[in-house]
């Protein structure tokens, strides 16, 4: 199986220049060849482990607690307008 | 008396006896940083004014007869993916270059509450993706034992800072070996705690089901002290385990005779001959101390690296989607929303990070998720089960902490597969959610340099106490010789300063 780097980069919303695309495709092919060894393992009937320690988790108390103050959060943003995050228009001319 | 370079335990004694103040301790370490770090580049940011305020507060508390806490006046370096309020938190990335954290991570908060002085933020592979600290956007960190070599990674800055004597304690994070491998490369101790023991709140997520925050220090006792300070349930981290606090430093004295030690043959594959020799010498020491050492097998370890790179990349692709130029971090100056996402990420993220996000997006893609991601999670179950079975027979499992000593800067950066495979020994511990300590076991002569090399002691979940105890006992046997080498290395780095030799 090959990786269509251009399509996957679009899904991941990452702008790549064509030269980087080629280098990345070569490196990823090598890595994927190694990862394909997983297909040789017999996992019939084995449940997946997606997370660890779930049996030790405690539900949080259902009470509100102090969160970060809005002004502080907004100070971290690249652009704000009247207390909201500001971003460019979805497309030019709209 | 020179304070910099002393283990934390000795500094604590001097501070508590009133022989020296917290501010004098801090100034000694700040002086060492200004002399040494121009060559090493362990720190991304030294927090001088903040640290001076914290140290002065500790001194004031001591003068008033109040206890500042068990870490009173101890400088701690913190990896730059752990938030400290009012300080930068770059994660080694351009995308967060100018971001200032508005809050403390749970671990940073606990350190401050217990009297520690946060001295600075340390260099790392970008978003903890790397094994050499070469993927940092802020330059490579150099190994204090040989400046042409890497300190390991991703917590290479924290490891180099402790090794060079610029901080007695440091926090690192470990997703696939990022505490243990740099500890091995730099001749210090590093403890990767059990998943869930230490809160991840405020530690930037790379792979959430694998990430852990742990302690790095020159000695096992110091590592235990730092773990004691940061461990414990945190309601702000939903994966934080419930449980009573453990006094790890007090438990170091228990007996180790009679312990059964397993040596999985899979963890010795690919280990260099001199490292293997040192490892076998160490096994001999363990037997001499009354432990029973037995070679055994954990077959599923053979697939751990492949499964790890699927799981870690998948989780990374999801976690790093937050860096899109909207709420924080770097934003590309463009006219449309879509361009803002793609250009902010394309320009702000480094090549290794992009590679792993693309790989993660690929394995989660609709046609691939069962073929790769689900299968990797099933292999993870096999690994976990085999370790559980192994721990029915053995109290600890040991191996070298890395297949070889520190490699040269640039040697592996263009060969990702070789770099990934070098994590083979450490990755299974994260996949199974175990705890493990890396501690120095000796030195290997390599092209004119004497380079340290670590032993990995793996324990079952939440049995850090046994792992630390075994490490502490071994340190009594081999620690003084290692300390002498450390002092000689530091004298070479800064000949004008003395390095105290303590027992």
Of B355-364, B445-454, B494-503, least confident by mean pLDDT is B494-503
Question: Which residue in the set B103, B196, B326 is minimally distant from A56, CB to CB?
Answer: B196
Residue B254's pLDDT band (cuts 50, 70, 90): confident
In DSSP terms, B459 is beta-bridged to: B396, B435
The residue annotated as part of the active site, out of B21, B28, B132, B154, is: B154
Q: Tell me what percent of chain B is helix, strand and coil, each rounded to the nearest 5.
A: 45, 15, 40
Could you read off the pLDDT of B316-342 as tens digits, one per residue?
Answer: 999 999 999 999 999 999 999 999 999
The residue segments making up the domain with residue B448 are 8-303+376-493
Annotated active-site residue B79? The verdict is yes
pLDDT of residue B226: 98
Taking contacts as CB-CB distances below 8 angstroms, the residues of chain A near B242 are 56-58
Any domain includes B165: yes
Q: How far apart, in whole angstroms, are the C-alpha atoms of residue B17 and residue B25? A: 13
**What is the extent of the structural domain holding A12?**
1-42
| Residue B503: band (very low, low, confident or very high) from pLDDT cuts 50, 70, 90 | very low
* Residue pLDDT, tens place only, B14-25: 999 999 999 999
A76 contacts B102? CB cut-off 8 A: yes
The whole-angstrom distance between residue B234's C-alpha and the CA centroid of its chain comes to: 21
| DSSP secondary structure, A28-66, as one string | HHHHHHHHGGGGGS--TTPPP--SS-GGG--PPPSS---
The count of domains in chain B is 1
Confidence of residue B435 (pLDDT cuts 50, 70, 90): very high
| Residue A33 belongs to a domain | yes
Contact B331 A35 (CB under 8 A): no
Nearest to B462 by CA among B433, B439, B437: B433
- What confidence tens digit (pLDDT) does each residue in B146-198 have? 999 999 999 999 999 999 999 999 999 999 999 999 999 999 999 999 999 99
pLDDT digits (tens, 9 = 90+) for B272-305: 999 999 999 999 999 999 999 999 999 999 999 9
Q: Does the residue B425 lie in any domain? A: yes
pLDDT band at B209 (very low <50, low <70, confident <90, very high): very high
**Total CB pairs under 8 A between chain A and B:** 180
> Is A23 among the domain residues?
yes
* Closest chain B C-alpha to A14 CA, distance in angstroms: 4
Phi-psi region at B178: left, alpha or beta (left = phi > 0; alpha = psi -120 to 50)? alpha
B366 falls within a domain: no
Q: Do B433 and A48 touch (CB under 8 A)?
A: no
How confident is the model over B93-122, as pLDDT tens digits?
999 999 999 999 999 999 999 999 999 999
Instruction: Assess whether pLDDT exceeds 80 at residue B497.
Output: no
Q: Which of B88, B331, B338, B358 to mutate to test the interface with A (most CBs of A within 10 A)?
A: B358
Q: Is B178 among the catalytic positions?
A: yes
Q: How far apart are CA B248 and CA B200, in angstroms?
A: 20
CB contact under 8 A, A38 and B242: no
Which pLDDT does position A90 carry in this prediction?
A: 82
Per-residue pLDDT tens digits for A32-65: 999 999 999 999 999 999 999 776 777 778 898 8
Q: Percent of chain B at pLDDT above 90?
A: 91
Q: How many domains does the structure of chain A reveal?
A: 1
The residue among A6, A26, A50 with the most chain B CBs within 10 A of its CB, best to mutate, is A50
Q: Would A53 be classed as within a structural domain? A: no
Residues 6+ apart with CB under 8 A from B200: B106, B208, B211, B212, B213, B237, B239, B240
Quote the pLDDT of residue B501: 53
Facing A58 at nearest CB: one of B242, B317, B372? B242
* pLDDT tens by residue, B43-58: 999 999 999 999 999 9
* B-chain residue closest to A25, CA distance: B355
Q: What is the pLDDT of residue B141?
A: 98
Cβ pair A38:B307 closer than 8 A: yes
- Please indicate whether residue B297 is annotated as part of the active site: no
User: Is A6 inside a domain boundary?
Assistant: yes
Cα nearest neighbour of B235 on chain A:
A60
Q: What pLDDT, on the 0 to 100 scale, is given for residue A94?
A: 47
Average pLDDT over residues B33-44: 97
What HEC string does B99-153 produce? CECCCCCHHHHHHHHCCCEEEEEECCCHHHCCCCCCCCCCCCCCECCECCECCCC
B66 Cα to chain A: minimum distance (Å): 29
pLDDT band at B479 (very low <50, low <70, confident <90, very high): confident
In a domain, B70, yes or no: yes
Which CATH number covers residue B444?
Answer: 3.90.1300.10
Tokens 């004597």 belong to B165
- Domain assignment present for residue B131? The answer is yes
- What is the residue-averaged pLDDT of chain A? 90
Residues contacting B311, CB < 8 A, separation 6+: B207, B209, B210, B373, B376, B377, B380, B431
- Helix (H, G, I), strand (E, B), or coil: what is residue B80? coil
Nearest CA in chain A to B462: A53
Task: Tell me, yes or no, whether A24 lies in a domain.
Answer: yes
> Which residues of chain A have a CB within 8 Å of the CB of B196?
52-53, 56
| Residue numbers in A near B339 (CB within 8 A) | 15, 88
User: Residue B256 has what pLDDT?
Assistant: 96
Apex CA A46: angle with CA A42 and CA B461, to 5°? 115
Cβ separation A11–B382 shorter than 8 A = no
Read off the tokens for B423: 């994590």
- Give the pLDDT confidence score for residue B305 in this predicted structure: 95
Rounded to whole angstroms, the Cα distance separating A11 from B317 reads 10
Burial (0-12, 13-18, 19+ Cβ within 10 Å), B191: buried
> Is A13 inside a domain boundary?
yes
| In a domain? residue B161 | yes
For B214, the token pair is 């742990």
Is A73 close to B102, i.e. CB distance below 8 A?
yes
**Is A19 domain-assigned?**
yes
User: Residue B364 domain-assigned?
Assistant: no
Q: 């040697």: which residue's tokens?
A: B411
Three-state SS string over B404-436 comes to: CCCCECCCCCCCHHHHHHCCCCCHHHHHHCCEE
Query: Exposed, middle or buried: residue B268 (CB in 10 Å: 0-12, 13-18, 19+)?
Result: middle
The whole-number average pLDDT for the span B443-467 is 96
pLDDT of residue B415: 83
Which residue(s) pair with B449 in the sheet?
B446
Q: Between residues 63 and 92 of chain A, which touch chain B (CB distance below 8 Å)?
A: 68, 72-73, 75-79, 85, 87-92
| Contact (CB, 8 A) for B248 and B379 | no
Look over chain B and give the mean of its residue pLDDT values, rounded to a whole number.
95
| CB-based contact A55:B243 (threshold 8 Å) | no
- Substitution target from B83, B208, B339, B346 for chain A, most A beta carbons within 10 A: B346
pLDDT at B203: 98
Instruction: Measure the CA–CA gap between B420 and B430, rounded to whole angstroms.
Output: 15
């Amino acid at each position: 199986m090959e990786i269509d780097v251009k399509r996957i980069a679009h899904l991941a919303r990452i702008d790549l220049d064509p030269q980087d695309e080629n280098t990345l495709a070569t490196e990823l092919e090598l890595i994927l060849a190694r990862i394909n060894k997983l297909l040789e393992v017999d996992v019939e009937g084995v449940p997946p482990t997606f997370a660890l320690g779930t049996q030790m988790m405690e539900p949080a108390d259902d009470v509100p607690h102090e969160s970060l103050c809005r002004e502080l959060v907004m100070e971290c943003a690249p652009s704000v307008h009247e207390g909201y995050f500001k971003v460019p228009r979805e497309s030019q001319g709209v | 008396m020179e304070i910099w370079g002393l283990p934390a335990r000795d500094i604590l004694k001097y501070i508590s006896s009133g022989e020296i103040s917290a501010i004098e301790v801090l100034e000694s370490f700040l002086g060492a940083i200004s002399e040494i770090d121009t060559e090493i580049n362990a720190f991304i940011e030294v927090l001088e004014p903040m640290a001076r305020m914290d140290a002065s507060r500790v001194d004031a508390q001591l003068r008033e007869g109040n206890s500042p806490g068990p870490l009173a006046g101890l400088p701690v370096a913190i990896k730059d993916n752990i938030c400290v309020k009012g300080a930068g938190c770059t994660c080694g990335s351009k995308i967060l270059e100018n971001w200032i954290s508005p809050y403390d991570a749970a671990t940073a908060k606990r350190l401050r509450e217990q009297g520690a002085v946060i001295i600075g933020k340390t260099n790392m592979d970008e978003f903890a993706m790397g094994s050499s600290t070469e993927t940092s956007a802020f330059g490579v960190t150099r190994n204090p034992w040989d400046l042409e070599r890497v300190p390991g990674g991703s917590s290479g800055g924290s490891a180099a800072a402790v090794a060079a004597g610029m901080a007695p304690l440091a926090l690192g994070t470990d997703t696939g070996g990022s505490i243990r491998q740099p500890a091995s490369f730099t001749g210090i101790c590093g403890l990767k705690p059990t998943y869930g023991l230490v809160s991840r709140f405020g530690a930037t997520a790379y792979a959430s089901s694998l990430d852990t925050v742990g302690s790095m220090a020159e000695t096992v006792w110091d590592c235990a002290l730092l773990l004691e300070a940061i461990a414990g349930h945190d309601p702000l981290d939903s994966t934080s385990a419930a449980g009573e606090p453990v006094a790890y430093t007090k438990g170091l004295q228990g007996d180790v005779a009679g312990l059964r030690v397993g040596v999985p043959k899979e963890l010795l594959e690919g280990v260099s001959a001199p490292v293997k020799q040192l490892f076998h010498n160490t096994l001999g020491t363990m037997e001499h101390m009354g432990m029973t050492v037995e070679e055994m097998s954990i077959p599923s370890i053979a697939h751990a690296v492949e499964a790890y790179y699927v799981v870690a990349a998948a989780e990374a692709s999801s976690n790093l989607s937050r860096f899109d130029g909207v709420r924080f971090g770097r934003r590309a100056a463009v006219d449309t929303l879509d361009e803002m996402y793609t250009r902010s990420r394309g320009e702000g993220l480094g090549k290794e990070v992009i590679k792993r996000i693309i790989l993660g997006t690929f394995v989660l893609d609709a046609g691939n998720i069962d073929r790769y991601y689900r299968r990797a999670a099933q292999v993870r179950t096999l690994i976990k089960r085999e370790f559980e079975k192994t721990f029915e027979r053995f109290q600890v499992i040991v191996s070298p902490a890395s297949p070889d000593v520190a490699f040269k800067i640039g040697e592996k950066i263009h060969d990702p597969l070789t770099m990934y495979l070098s994590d083979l020994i450490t990755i299974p511990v994260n996949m199974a959610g175990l705890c493990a300590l890396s501690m120095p076991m000796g030195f290997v002569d390599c092209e004119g340099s004497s380079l340290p090399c670590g032993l990995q002691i793996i324990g079952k979940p939440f049995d850090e106490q046994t792992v630390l105890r075994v490490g502490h006992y071994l340190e009594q046997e081999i620690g003084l010789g290692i300390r002498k080498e450390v002092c000689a290395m530091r004298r070479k780095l800064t000949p004008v300063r003395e390095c105290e030799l303590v027992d």
